[in-house]
Amino acid sequence: MSIQFDGNVNSAFVSGALTIQRASDGITQNSISLAQQQTDQREPRQEQAETAKLSERVPSTGNGSVTDSLAGLTLNLRHAEAGAKVLDMTSDMVGSLINEVA
């Protein structure tokens, strides 16, 4: 019995990994947004300079509310979990195919 692999397995791995990467980027952006909001409420000079350095490396998501940032963190957590599940299911599928071929 021959099995044709036409790239669907590779595509699933790439999709899962890309989903996790994008979720990680979103988590970083929302975390920076939360830090900026907290810094704005404290001593403005030194802490804002430190946060500005961080925001130069990662673009800010804007000046949303704390609630928006927390909701964004939760949403990106769900995306990361979904990407991990895709990778897990793809790994299981590849394992099953290997067992079936062997």
Q: How many folded domains does the chain comprise?
A: 1
**For position 54, what pLDDT does the model report?**
61
Distance between CA atoms of residues 63 and 70, nearest Å: 13
pLDDT at 1: 41
Q: Which domain holds residue 90?
A: 8-48+66-101
Residue 12 lies in a domain: yes
| CA–CA distance, 82 with 87 (Å, rounded to integer) | 9
Decide if 28 is inside a domain: yes
**pLDDT at residue 75, as a whole number:** 97
Residues 73, 79, 85, 91, CA torsion sign: negative
Residue 82 covered by a domain: yes
pTM, rounded to two decimals: 0.68
pLDDT tens, residue by residue, 9-26: 788 899 999 999 999 999
CA 7 to chain centre: 24
pLDDT in tens, 49-92: 666 666 565 555 455 789 999 999 999 999 999 999 999 999 99
In a domain, 61, yes or no: no
Q: Is residue 54 part of a domain?
A: no
Residue 1 lies in a domain: no
| Lookup result for tokens 């802490």 | 47
Q: Kindly give the interhelix angle for 8-41 and 44-57, rounded to the nearest 10 degrees.
A: 170
